Chains A and B, each alone.
Chain A
């Protein structure tokens, strides 16, 4: 995927975030808090506990459903993270060869389990992040983090990152294009070329940062980003959202729901 397409995809999330569903209207803090709790629960599970991850898929799925977010959009973006995730976990099956369980004739090693757990967990985390942006909007997430106590410095960094990623990417695309036009077709930039392209991009970015800072100073900036919008209320709906999901996460974190259900189903069959 080219930089252009990746950015267009990112903008699509903004459009989705502009929708008006009950979930979109919910105070962003509730969604951010619940998502944080979700990530802690998912990421703290034992590396071999693959089946226990399954119930956690309910959160992003239900959020996408309620927020009218097409699952295809989420899947496409989540797939972007897949190569990185695969790279992180790819050596696990080679190192950890202790057999943990047998699926019929197949002996499943600890490495295979932890590899699938890494992939599954990352996909869950990434798609939940994407769904959160699509039902809340990046800007609102930043504001929510600010109201939850994140220091302004980090907050402004995040907001600027999102604002200027498009400008920066446009500059990078232009530079790559200019390089392509002067090269034999199909040749990829060498490491050396990448080095000078990146260096150039860094210098331009620093220049731009200087100009933006100047523009901010010209309009009275004194280190604090002003807040204009009326602040949302953390009302009954937000509490309900937090409580319901909180209880669900606790339940699936403490109890091995799939095994329990399996045992129950087994008992019924017998």
Chain B
């Protein structure tokens, strides 16, 4: 496999109603890289993610995952490589129990039930949710749902983890748990989120989308320090890089 694990070249997509969603997207994710995809509402983040799991086919340009081009005939292989965690865990947890849900992917790949069961246990253990195994998904809290949704994807053993708003609707502690969980993963990760502080903690590289175009792509700290850039893309610096909330002084100089 090439070390360019995800490669988008000049990808463009226009919604059926004529709204351009993505224009000339060039993006390459390297093996093991953790990249934050940020942008205001409607910037095209979710549409871009949908292209990576084959839910949308690019109207112009091309996408490769490893050595495989993303086209209709390779979708099964692509989906095995790319694990997509949806924004709303309720969309992802559709089976009667947590165990059934986590086993859904492995069984669909054709693993024998005994091996699938092992994968279920391993994936649930990784996200610290083994005790929820027999519960129905609608009985879980928001944080638990998120953890199990991640386990359902981990059980398929993907090389690339693609997450849409992983920290949305989580309370601070669940968010913190999620961050430490994701930090432990060695997968190539692409996190689309509005939570810039999360990006700062997890991603060494950040891509800014604005009106369907890539406006910046570089080291996270540098990008978040460029206030003019953030402002022009409808974003604000992460909270931890904003001025002191007590005296308004620059964060580093401030005594508070």
Contacts and interface: CB of A to CB of B under 8 A. Distances in A.
Contacts of B96: 138-139, 142, 159, 162-163
Interface stretch (B33-41, B87-95, B169-177, B228-236): B87-95
Interface residues of A, number: 29
Given A220-B108, A222-B108, A228 B99 contact: yes
B76 to A, nearest CB: 7
A119 B31 CA distance: 67
Contact of A220 (B79, B97, B139): B79
A228 B113 contact: yes
Given A167-B138, A228-B116, A219 B94 contact: no
A218 B113 contact: no
Residue of A164, A208, A216 contacting most chain B CB atoms (<10 Å): A216
Contacts of B116: 226, 228
B53 interface: yes
B14 interface: no
Interface in B58-102: 75-76, 79-80, 82-84, 86, 88, 90-92, 94-97, 99-100
A177 interface: no
B84 A218 contact: yes
Nearest to B155: A219
A219 B91 contact: no
Q: How large is the interface on B (under 10, 10 to 19, 20 to 34, 35 or more residues)?
A: 35 or more
A159 B152 CA distance: 18
Contact of A226 (B79, B103, B137): B103
Scoring B92, B96, B104, B117 by chain A CB atoms within 10 A of each residue's CB, the highest score goes to: B96
A95 B76 CA distance: 63
B100 A228 contact: yes
A100 interface: no
Interface in A182-233: 208, 211-212, 214-222, 226-230
Contacts of A214: 50, 53, 55, 86, 91
Interface of A: 11, 14, 138-139, 142, 159-160, 162-164, 166-167, 208, 211-212, 214-222, 226-230
